[in-house]
A and B are shown apart, each in its own frame.
Chain A
């Protein structure tokens, strides 16, 4: 049996429908229940539903053999995982946004950056040699510039609507993010056949 950790929220529905197209289905009743660990109709796959940031943790420790999670989460966690498949779901961009499109040159003194993604943000500015002060938030990051907490933000953008409504413009794009299939290194060797079956089943739907 292969255990698959699914990131709850944004990714969950598209991940489950992709898996269903690959022939790996959960019963209606199971999906609607509030249980966090479920087995598929064939009994070959077990699903666990966890917060996105916890998917790499479960998979890296081998508690889950595999997982579906966004690249944004993977970049932030720096977990040591295999990434055999880009599922192309929940596509979005990780961007730098600010009220002033010229903020990069106009800010006086140290630039303050509010974000949920402190690793990605510090790597991005660090690689450009721009010293910044990172302010770690856990949500509603778009508020920070308007209220004067930060000069700019690093955040995920799908349509750009939230940014616009909060008066922010994208000033730089860091990376594109899509849902990825991740696999534990030990499972990849020890359950090679089952993992290959899962990868191929998903690949055939893309």
Chain B
């Protein structure tokens, strides 16, 4: 529970205005979704595990409601139903609070957070991925966080392709994912000694999963399966674009970012800012999502955490 008073509230409003004006500049339309909706919507949109972190309660007729734990689910459903006939692509942005039950000790412990987010629906491929990356970079640079932020990008299909080749059962696949995600080098080595093949050596050295173009080149030496190669190709092309925009200092490739595999279907990204102990934003491509609302089409987007950004910028002012 957090109050913003006076200068702090003004700063927070300023951050929100900057983000929303950048979105507007890229022709993103603002959308306001209901704060209370049926639980089913979010279970379809986020998967059961994430949706269950929402605060749930029942309506008069006993149906389960929840305070929205994310906005993307609502936007995806809206695109597939209310706006099914509208010409594509759709561009939407929002500044909206989301509510989640949190473990008190965790760094992201607030129950209520405000997301500054955007969704680009109905267009796939590199141009769309690049568009949202540029949007994120532009917002951060307009907030004077130039050279203080880092956006990590990955393509989850690289991991998925390698894991498919290993034909692991679900618990083993989850263990592999967790070991890569938490960079547990020793346990990972042990795991790969049992289950590994020629391709898995790409994940064997967690410290070498982060970098610039060299990471892709190293991965190419190890990986041969089509699915991963296609993902590497698209990451490679995206990186070329990032370089030609002169943004490569603010971006990193992190092949070890495998934290939300069930949700993302291609590009995944995380945003880090000096002074914040946890990521302040995340996003990616989720081509599977709108399909669960009856109209499958490509979609990509990201959210920034307004409260985390305000905190970093507030402290920066004090330090400066």
Residue numbers of A with Cβ under 8 A of B are 56-57, 60-63, 77-86, 183-186, 188-190, 192, 196, 199-200
Contact = CB atoms under 8 A, between A and B. Distances in A.
18 contacts: A56-B105, A60-B107, A60-B278, A61-B277, A62-B107, A78-B103, A80-B106, A83-B182, A84-B183, A84-B206, A86-B187, A185-B278, A186-B272, A186-B273, A188-B210, A189-B152, A192-B210, A196-B207
Interface in B199-223: 206-207, 210
Interface string B9-26: 000000000000000000
B278 A84 contact: no
The 3 closest A-B pairs by CB, nearest first: A62-B277, A61-B277, A86-B186
Contacts of A184: 277
A190 B272 contact: yes
Interface in B232-279: 252, 254, 270, 272-274, 276-279
A79 B278 contact: no
Contacts of A60: 105-107, 277-278
Given A60-B106, A78-B103, A79-B105, A188 B277 contact: no
Contacts of A82: 182-183
A190 B106 contact: no
B98 interface: no
A80 B107 contact: yes
A81 B181 CA distance: 9
A153 B274 CA distance: 43
A186 B276 contact: yes
A57 B278 CA distance: 12
Nearest to A186: B272
A88 to B, nearest CB: 9
Contact of A189 (B103, B106, B210): B210
Interface string B80-116: 0000000000000000000000010111000000000
Contacts of B132: none
Task: Identify which of A63, A83, A184 gathers the most chain B CB atoms within 10 Å of its CB.
Answer: A83
B184 A84 contact: yes
Contacts of B46: none
Contacts of A196: 207
A105 B182 CA distance: 38
B229 interface: no
A146 B316 CA distance: 56
Nearest to A86: B186
A84 B185 contact: yes
Contacts of B207: 84, 196, 199-200
Interface string B29-68: 0000000000000000000000000000000000000000
Given A61-B107, A84-B184, A190-B273, 14 more contacts: A60-B107, A62-B276, A62-B278, A77-B105, A79-B105, A79-B106, A80-B106, A82-B183, A84-B206, A85-B186, A186-B273, A186-B279, A189-B270, A190-B150
B101 to A, nearest CB: 14
A119 to B, nearest CB: 11
Contacts of B105: 56-57, 60, 77, 79
B151 to A, nearest CB: 9
Contacts of A77: 105
Contacts of B276: 62, 186
A188 B183 contact: yes
B266 to A, nearest CB: 21
B191 to A, nearest CB: 13
A77 B210 CA distance: 27
Contacts of A78: 103
Given A60-B107, A84-B184, A186 B278 contact: yes
A192 B253 CA distance: 12
A82 B187 CA distance: 13
A192 B252 contact: yes
Contacts of B152: 189
B309 to A, nearest CB: 13
Nearest to A189: B272
B279 to A, nearest CB: 6
Given A60-B277, A185-B279, A83 B252 contact: no
A5 to B, nearest CB: 12
Contact of A186 (B186, B206, B254, B277): B277
B254 to A, nearest CB: 7
Nearest to A57: B105
A62 to B, nearest CB: 2
Contacts of B186: 85-86
Contacts of A83: 182-184
A169 to B, nearest CB: 29
A196 B210 CA distance: 11
B39 to A, nearest CB: 25
